[in-house]
Amino acid sequence: MKYIRSCGFVAFRRVNGENQYLIIKSLNGDVGFPKGHMEPGESELQTAIRELKEETGISVEVINGFVRQIEYPLPRKADTVKQSVYFLGECITDEITCQECEVADAAFLPYKEALSKLTFDETKSILSDADFFINQYDFCTEMPVDRETIRKALQCRLYPTQYLGKYKYTVICSYYEGKWILSKHKSRNTWETQGGHIEDGEIPLECAKRELFEESGIKDADIYPVCDYWGYNTRSCSNGMVFLAVVHSLGELPESEMKETKIFDTLPAELTYPLVTPRLIKEAKKMLKEILNK
């Protein structure tokens, strides 16, 4: 299978409190977001910034954390898949200059009007997520951050596995003999599922196995992908993958940032991420039911 990769932007401006989104009509009539192919030596973000400028003349301030990826087969090219990565940016210029060899028309439109004009369902979904995130986002990022408040305010949206791509985290819901295993961080007095950042060179499953051991001491477990999740608060957002670990035997907690683990019949009230953990456990239970019914 051959993959063709392109990168682009969901670019927006705010006019009288209303979000307006930059959409373009290509020469073939499709309506979407500015994007284009990567050149040698470019990062995905560099490509997106360059293509946005070339196709529309627009520059943006990047909103950190928001990344969406879609892929689809090209009907006229057998065994070829198009992958498109989109970033989010607030416009710092808004005078549109269309690239005549690529773009037939471009305009800033309010959310609902932009949504109605987009050609493909995949780009409509990206716009929906972008608009939702912008409306939650706190653009006054110079203000002091209360980390505990931010953690408690973390929310998520759930998607099928392999939907989001560009994963930054994994989360592991650990099940043992009818109960759930949670860990407590050394700097906190609340309980949480195991998980953490995906390191360079790791795939999500490798990260899940490593984080499960580091934060609980568990090695003897079968691990299953459950779903993708988009975690967000008023400061940032990121993509993650959720796993279910069916634990066969417990292990000794290694030296790590966690100070203890505990087995719970039901989730405690003292959760690090009270708006997220119950939702992820609920999804893990669905996967568990499928496994036990096989």
* pLDDT digit string, tens, across residues 67-79: 888 877 777 777 7
In angstroms, rounded to a whole number, what is the distance separating the alpha carbons of residues 10 and 48?
A: 10
Average confidence (pLDDT) over 172-179? 96
- The b/e string for 274-290 (b: 16+ C-beta within 10 A; e otherwise) is eebbebbbebbeebbee
Query: Could you report the per-residue pLDDT of 230-284, keeping only the tens digit for each?
Result: 888 766 778 899 999 999 999 999 998 999 999 999 999 999 999 999 999 999 9
Task: Supply the CATH classification number for the domain 2-136.
Answer: 3.90.79.10
Residue 1 has pLDDT above 80, yes or no: no
Q: What is the pLDDT of residue 153?
A: 80
Backbone angles phi, psi at 160, to 5 degrees: -60, 155
Q: What is the pLDDT of residue 226?
A: 96
Q: What is the pLDDT of residue 278?
A: 96
Residues in the chain: 294
Residue 86 has pLDDT above 50, yes or no: yes
Q: What is the pLDDT of residue 234?
A: 65
More confident residue, 154 or 127: 127
**Token digits for 113?**
């009007």
Residue 143 has pLDDT above 50, yes or no: no
Q: What is the pLDDT of residue 138?
A: 57
> In Å, what is the CA distance from 274 to each residue of 9, 212, 241, 278?
32, 20, 18, 7
More confident residue, 136 or 129: 129
E-strand stretches of the chain: 2-15, 18-26, 31-32, 35-37, 60-73, 80-91, 103-110, 155-159, 169-176, 179-185, 191-192, 194-197, 221-232, 237-247, 258-264
Quick check: helix, strand or coil at residue 133? helix
Q: What is the pLDDT of residue 139?
A: 59
Distance from chain centroid for Cα 208: 17
- N-term to C-term CA, the chain: 32
What is the percent of the chain with per-residue pLDDT over 90, rounded to a whole number?
Answer: 59
> In Å, what is the CA distance from 241 to each residue of 4, 27, 46, 89, 195?
24, 37, 26, 24, 10
Q: Which helix (H) or strand (E) holds 32?
A: strand 31-32
In angstroms, rounded to a whole number, what is the distance separating the alpha carbons of residues 164 and 167?
A: 7
As a whole number, the mean pLDDT across the chain is 89
- Would you list the domain boundaries of the chain? 2-136, 147-292
Q: Which of the following CATH numbers is that of domain 147-292: 3.40.640.10, 3.40.605.10, 3.90.79.10, 3.40.630.30? A: 3.90.79.10
Residue 44 has pLDDT above 80, yes or no: yes
- In this prediction, residue 145 has a pLDDT band, given cuts at 50, 70 and 90, of low
